[in-house]
């Protein structure tokens, strides 16, 4: 079976470490949705077998209005043969998955969430410039499960300065407590031209300047 990946290039906030293509403005969300549908139509001949997976990545797909998802799904099903048991995933941030949004997505063919938890600790999320807090990280998982979304994947990040072995173990144990069937663990990387890379560069420059300042004997 074939798979379809769709990039939704919008986010509420820019995470300090992120170098993906995205915009924090939703000004052109309708135009982008139309462009995605046009791209699907133009490339309909590329897939001749059944579609077994559809994955919405980003960016933060969960910021896309439900009517946008509906339009994209209608275009896909019109031009491709989608398996009746296809896995259809939307990447989501915890702060987007309130009861209203979950209920809207429940009416669509979506059957899996990939949730960007990253950490269950507020101080870590603040350091990463995430839009959600630790409470939202936990409540959105429970809320999704209660709504029938049992096929969940959660993202966790390790390798950043605030993380200790004990906190990492607690993050993993929390994910296990929620019985999430899939965990994606990512090591923090410092990508060029990100806010994190600029902060490190400035800190190193400041440290270098301080080391050059003459010390009084």
Q: Output the tens digit of pLDDT for each of the chain's 217 residues.
A: 899 999 999 988 888 877 777 788 889 999 999 999 999 999 999 999 999 999 999 889 999 999 999 999 999 999 999 999 999 999 999 999 999 999 999 999 999 999 999 999 999 999 888 999 999 999 999 999 999 999 999 999 999 989 999 999 999 999 999 999 999 999 988 888 777 878 877 776 544 444 544 555 4
pTM higher than the cut 0.85: yes
As a three-state string, the secondary structure of 23-46 is ECCCCCHHHHHHHHHHHHHHCHHH
* Cα–Cα distance for residue pair 119/139, rounded to 1 Å: 13
Distances (CA, A) of 84 to 52, 87, 92, 107, 176: 8, 9, 23, 16, 30
Nearest to 21, CA basis, from 58, 55, 56: 58
pLDDT at 96: 95
Distances (CA, A) of 51 to 5, 48, 141, 150, 189: 11, 9, 28, 22, 33
pLDDT at 192: 85
Could you please report the per-residue DSSP string of 38-70? Answer: HHHHHTGGG--S-EEEEEEEES-GGGS-HHHHH
Torsional sign, CA 110, 11, 159, 171: negative
* Cα–Cα distance for residue pair 194/192, rounded to 1 Å: 6
* Cα–Cα distance for residue pair 56/33, rounded to 1 Å: 12
């Amino acid at each position: 079976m074939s798979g379809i990946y769709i990039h939704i290039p919008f986010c509420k906030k820019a995470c300090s470490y992120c170098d993906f293509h995205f915009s924090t403005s939703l000004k052109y969300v309708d135009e982008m949705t139309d462009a995605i549908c046009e791209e699907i139509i133009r490339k309909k001949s590329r897939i001749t077998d059944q579609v077994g997976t559809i994955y919405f990545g980003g960016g933060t797909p969960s910021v896309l209005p439900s009517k946008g998802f509906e339009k994209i799904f209608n275009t896909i099903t019109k031009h491709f043969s989608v398996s009746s048991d296809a896995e259809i995933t939307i990447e989501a941030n915890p702060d987007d998955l309130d009861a209203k949004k979950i209920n809207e997505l429940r009416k669509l063919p979506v059957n899996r969430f990939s949730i960007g938890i990253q950490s269950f600790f507020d101080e870590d999320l603040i350091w990463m410039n995430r839009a959600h807090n630790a409470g939202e990280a936990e409540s959105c998982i429970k809320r999704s499960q209660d709504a029938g979304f049992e096929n969940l994947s959660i993202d966790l990040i390790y390798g950043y300065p605030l993380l200790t072995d004990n906190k990492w173990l607690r993050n993993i144990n929390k994910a296990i407590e929620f019985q999430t069937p899939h965990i994606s663990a990512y090591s923090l990387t410092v990508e060029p031209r990100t806010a994190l890379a600029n902060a490190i560069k400035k800190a190193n420059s400041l440290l270098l300047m301080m080391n050059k300042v003459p010390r009084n004997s």
